[in-house]
Amino acid sequence: MRDQQKARNQGGAGGNEHKQNSKTIHQIWEEGSPSTEDHPLLKHYGIQPHGTRVSKEGFLIVPARDSEKRLQALQLLDRDADSGRCFAGFLLNGVPENGFYFAIGKPEKVLSIDTHFVSAAQFHKITGEGVAVAFFDWNHHAVANALHRKLPNMPIMTLWHGFKEVTNE
């Protein structure tokens, strides 16, 4: 994780730093292997991988892409062995545009937006509806606007931390 922490962007990025972070997040994503239901975090919460990957260090990698499907950031998830709680780190590609997200499933009747991968995956598992993970509260509005442009007739529902995570344990 040390290399991944070095790549974390703590604010604005200059030209070279942006290129370094971009290379790093792409490299981490490409070097990751496809995740399976056996990953400890996925197994703990009873959710599917949905196209996530696993880093060399065992972190679940959730890609954040813009509406053009360009990789903007990576969320690295792990589960604390003692408490069972999920915690996350985030690697940015410089200063990404607002509106980056991770899509789970395809919406049939409504598209939901949540900030957390785990609760979004659980909501999808229960409802079968598509969910976009916005990662941050400040990104919700931009994700809703981006998705409304792509799916203008689809109702959008925001899940503001209202869906309780359920574990398998």
Q: Is residue 166 part of a domain?
A: no
Q: How many domains does the chain have?
A: 1
Q: Please report the pLDDT score of residue 96 as a whole number.
A: 60
133 falls within a domain: yes
Q: Is residue 164 part of a domain?
A: no
Q: Write the pLDDT tens digit of every residue in 101-152.
A: 999 999 999 999 999 999 999 999 999 999 999 998 888 899 999 999 999 9
Domain-located, residue 25: yes
Both tokens of residue 159?
A: 């899940």
Res. 32: pLDDT tops 80: yes
Q: What are phi and psi of 3, to 5 degrees?
A: -65, -40
Which one is predicted more confidently, 91 or 70?
70
Reported for 74-83, long-range contacts at CB under 8 A and 24+ positions apart, including other chains, are 74/25, 74/28, 74/29, 75/102, 75/117, 75/135, 76/1, 76/4, 77/41, 77/117, 77/118, 78/41, 79/40, 79/41, 79/44
Contact 156, 131 (CB under 8 A): no
Predicted TM-score of the model (pTM): 0.78
> Which of 73-77, 91-95, 119-123 has the least mean pLDDT?
91-95
Lowest mean pLDDT among 7-11, 16-20, 36-40, 156-160: 7-11
Tell whether the model's pLDDT for residue 5 goes beyond 50.
no
Please check the confidence at residue 13 and state whether its pLDDT lies above 50. Answer: no
Residue 132 lies in a domain: yes
| Residue 126 lies in domain | 2-159
Residue 49 resides in a domain: yes
**Nearest to residue 62, comparing CAs of 39, 37, 84, 90?**
90
Establish if 40 belongs to a structural domain. Answer: yes
pLDDT at 10: 32
Say if 165 falls within a structural domain: no
Query: Region 58-75: what's the mean pLDDT?
Result: 90
